[in-house]
């Protein structure tokens, strides 16, 4: 008995094939756009290498490594430096002349670089304390576990704009946590995510900040 394909079924099949073709073309176009953006970002990143290192792996522990960092986070931070929301003499001067396209290109380039991760030089007790806070928080002080936003391996959350912190220099991480803590009174001026981190850091002791920073550098 021959199979009869009705007109409505033909329309469904045609629509499915058309949609599949469109999605494939979009995917190819996106891949091409990303590839071009990475290429452009590499050219624009030449000046950044002086502080952030070759391929985004900083050798100075005071300056962050950018390799494999979240695109959304990097774009947001460059925008903050340019607008003056986030203040740093070196970065503000570099970001001043960057367009949104420049920021996206640079972020795409660094996001696709391989991080050079090195464990922090810290004793076992310090790392255990850092791990305890990172994975379990401090309940009696209402300090949430870092894992909730930054993930079990410290990969962050790109959609939410939470940065990747695994393998980052412990000195840089420590300095950032202290900056969040010290700006507690003005936390709402720097945006939602900054306010969250400021409220958390304000509840941490100097010893706990150092322990967390050391553990996060060793996290990968």
**Number of structural domains the chain divides into:** 2
Q: Give the pLDDT of residue 123.
A: 86
Does some domain include residue 4?
Answer: no
- Residue count (the chain): 220
Q: Which domain holds residue 152?
A: 124-218
pLDDT digit string, tens, across residues 46-89: 999 999 998 999 999 999 999 999 999 999 999 999 998 888 99
pTM of the model: 0.81
Beta bridge partners of 162: 157
Helix axes 206-218, 170-182, angle to 10 degrees: 140
Q: Locate 149 and state its tokens.
A: 């936003």
- What is the spatial distance between Cα 155 and Cα 69, in angstroms, rounded to a whole number? 8
pLDDT digit string, tens, across residues 130-157: 999 999 999 999 999 999 999 999 999 9
Q: Kindly state whether residues 139 and 211 are assigned to the same domain.
A: yes
The CATH number that applies at residue 62 is: 1.10.760.10
Q: Locate 135 and state its tokens.
A: 């994975």
pLDDT digit string, tens, across residues 14-48: 555 555 554 454 455 445 588 999 999 999 999 99
Does some domain include residue 199?
Answer: yes
């Amino acid at each position: 008995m021959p199979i009869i394909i009705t007109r409505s079924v033909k329309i469904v099949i045609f629509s499915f094939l058309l949609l599949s073709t469109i999605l494939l073309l979009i995917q190819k176009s996106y891949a091409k756009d990303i590839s071009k953006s990475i290429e452009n970002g590499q050219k624009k990143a030449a000046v950044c290498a002086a502080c952030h290192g070759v391929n985004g792996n900083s050798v100075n522990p005071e300056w962050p490594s950018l390799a494999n960092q979240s695109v959304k986070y990097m774009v947001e931070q460059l925008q903050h430096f340019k607008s003056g929301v986030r203040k740093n003499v070196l970065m503000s001067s570099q970001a001043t002349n960057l367009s949104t396209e420049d920021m996206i290109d640079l972020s795409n380039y660094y996001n696709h670089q391989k991080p050079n991760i090195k464990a922090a030089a810290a004793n076992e007790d310090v790392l255990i304390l850092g791990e305890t806070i990172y994975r379990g928080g401090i309940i009696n002080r209402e300090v949430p576990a870092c894992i909730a936003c930054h993930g079990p391996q410290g990969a962050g959350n790109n959609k939410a704009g939470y940065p990747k912190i695994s393998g980052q220099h412990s000195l840089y991480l420590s300095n950032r946590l202290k900056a969040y803590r010290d700006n507690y009174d003005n936390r709402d001026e720097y945006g939602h995510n900054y306010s969250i981190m400021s409220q958390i850091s304000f509840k941490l002791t100097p010893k706990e900040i150092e322990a967390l920073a050391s553990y996060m550098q060793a996290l990968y």
